[in-house]
Structure 1
Amino acid sequence: MQAGIVNGYGDNTFKPDRTITRAEMAVMMANALKVSSDAQAGISGNTSVKPSFTDASQTPSWAQEALDTAVQAKIVSGYTDHTVRAGSETTRAEAATMIYNLLLAMYV
């Protein structure tokens, strides 16, 4: 938690056994991306292009910027129906893909 990648909830709890939504995972991925200045510099020029999802209005406001960053960095992608499903639980496959894509963004 020292690096600020994972934070707790507003009620000062951490809830380690709770499932993670795609929005929460996107926030963690964007926070991890900030650790790497090289990766952050690689997407900084592309911030004017905002991803467009048909369910974008359902993304929590606290996750919107991080989700945009994670999409621009190609860490998070939407579904074929043009949704991002920010409130859905992250599957193991999605989490593994996001971590893999984060590593690509940071080191390739």
Structure 2
Amino acid sequence: MTELSQSLQALSERARSATEHIQRLRSKSETVNRNLADSEKELVEQLNTLISAIETKKQELTERLRDERTKRIHCLKEQINRVTSLLTKSTGLIQFCIEMLKESDPSAFLLVN
């Protein structure tokens, strides 16, 4: 019976060791879950901060582009007005010269107009 008793005692010791090992594994599992949950929370917070910063930068850059577009369009409209004015004056001068060339006495035409 001694041999059987020793075998049972050894088996009992192994069972106790296995139980302790299972408890350590469960504890580690809980620690891993807790750590991963904390890491996930931190990651989400950092990503939300990054997304917010990107959105803010997007708004700033979009606003700058719109302002620049408005300035350029304003400059182009001013140029169009200046060139149109010069073209109108040039066209008038060309018409005046054409009429002057049609006259037999150009100096008399200048006096009348």
The structure with the largest helix share of the pair is 2
How would you bin the TM-score normalised by the shorter chain? under 0.3
Structure with bigger RCO (C-alpha 8 Å, 6+ apart)? 1
Larger radius of gyration: 2
TM-score (normalizing by structure 2) = 0.16
TM-score (normalizing by structure 1) = 0.16
